[in-house]
Amino acid sequence: MREFNIGIIGLGNIGLEVYKNIKKNSSDIKKKTGFKLNILKVSAKNLRKKRGIKIPNKLLEKNYLEIIKNPKINIVVELIGGADGIAKKVVFESIKNKKHVVTANKALIAKHGDQLSILAEKNGVNLLFEAAVGGGIPIIRSIKQGLIANKLHHIYGILNGTTNYILTEMEKRNLNFKDVLKDAQKLGYAEANPTADVDGHDAAAKISILSSIGFGTKIINNGFLVEGIRKIEIEDIKFAKDLGYKIKLLAISERLGRYIKQRAHPCLIPINLDVANIDNVTNAIVVDGNPIGRTIYEGPGAGKGPTSSAVISDITSIMLGNDEFSFGLSPSAKKNVHLFNFNNHVSKYYIRFLTKDVPGVLSTITSNLAKNKISVANLIQEPSNNGNANVMLITHFSKESNIQKVLKNLNKQKKLFKKIVMIRVRDLKKL
């Protein structure tokens, strides 16, 4: 029986789970693939760390470079994380040494994926990263293989479980952002440094990957709109609900002729739409294409179990001889990107003004909107509290550049406005 040998570099929660599940399910993997899968070596920053399981000493390798150079190892599994540093070196050097690579590292792929895919093709090896997007949802393989006969034009959804959990709990428990974030950190849903999640960078990296695969373009890893959820307060969630919406952090990419319109930011979504009701750490991804139409993929977007499942899926795909292009097509066939100018974006907008309760506030708001050709669809004024009042409104469809002019002007008037929050409205008839 043919055997495949792997080396795992990184023994955090994910790496350890991959190790355990391969050991636990080795007989099933053998039955389904016809090959025996061996873990030949594992490496971590601290091999002496207590991990709750006994790993034989013969498997432990202090120097990760020895795994990369080992002629008996067919597949290197990188589970360190981070766009650069050791993780980058591991993946680049593994490919140069003609090792297949499996990774869950969305930051690395979003930043270096184009270069790595060229290198992988040159060296005749696979670079697979199903676990980088959607956790246990097989979204990458679905787009690359299941939808191969389709021309895709729209990919969007909830791609970050941490922010979805925070927004869900803020609504359910009537808590502010900071308190829910602390709970998320205690539960392991958020890192000690939550910047990548709550500031939108994680979702942005994931939509960059999906957009490249779905539209056959080079990766867009900068220059597009990225906003997080730190500014959202319980008042916004309440007012959104009163107006028939829920707030979600969405990652969105659209093909508009020769342009790609890509972004990641909070949105107000009509409460009766599918994605609006995806709560907690669950992810949901919508893919629109021709001829298939609209497809929805929903499932656990993070966690050691779902992520390890995706990693092992990639390993077994290599074992079965599935010679895959990393992004669904040869790197030489990927098109250059023309990024849509987001100043030309047209949307409805939710704006909340925390104002001083003095005469002339509403007229200042409405006159500035009118000067920039923005009309109001809904307006709510909250009764005065301690000399301050909230004014909430939703505009009719307006141009992004005009909205930004209004916000810039009103933010200067600190005597009237203590805080201004703007969230774009994702007001689609269907998702």
The residue annotated as part of the active site, out of 41, 99, 106, 206, is: 206
The first and second tokens of residue 332, run together, are 């030489």
Report which residue type is found at 132.
A
13 Cβ contact partners less than 8 Å away, ≥ 6 residues apart = 304
Q: How far apart are CA 431 and CA 426, in angstroms?
A: 10
Phi-psi region of 387 (alpha: psi -120 to 50; beta: other; left: phi over 0): left
Any alpha helices (H) in 257-387, and if so which ranges? 304-319, 361-371
Q: What is the DSSP letter of 73?
A: -
Eight-state DSSP code of residue 334: P
Q: Which residue in 196, 279, 280 sits closest to 230, CA to CA?
A: 196
Give the C-alpha distances (Å, rounded to integers) separating 397 from 182, 264, 345, 350, 372: 37, 19, 10, 11, 12
151 included as an active-site residue = no
Q: Indicate the pairing of strand 259-270 with strand 245-256.
A: antiparallel
Phi, psi for 362 (deg, rounded to 5): -60, -40
* Active site positions, annotated: 206
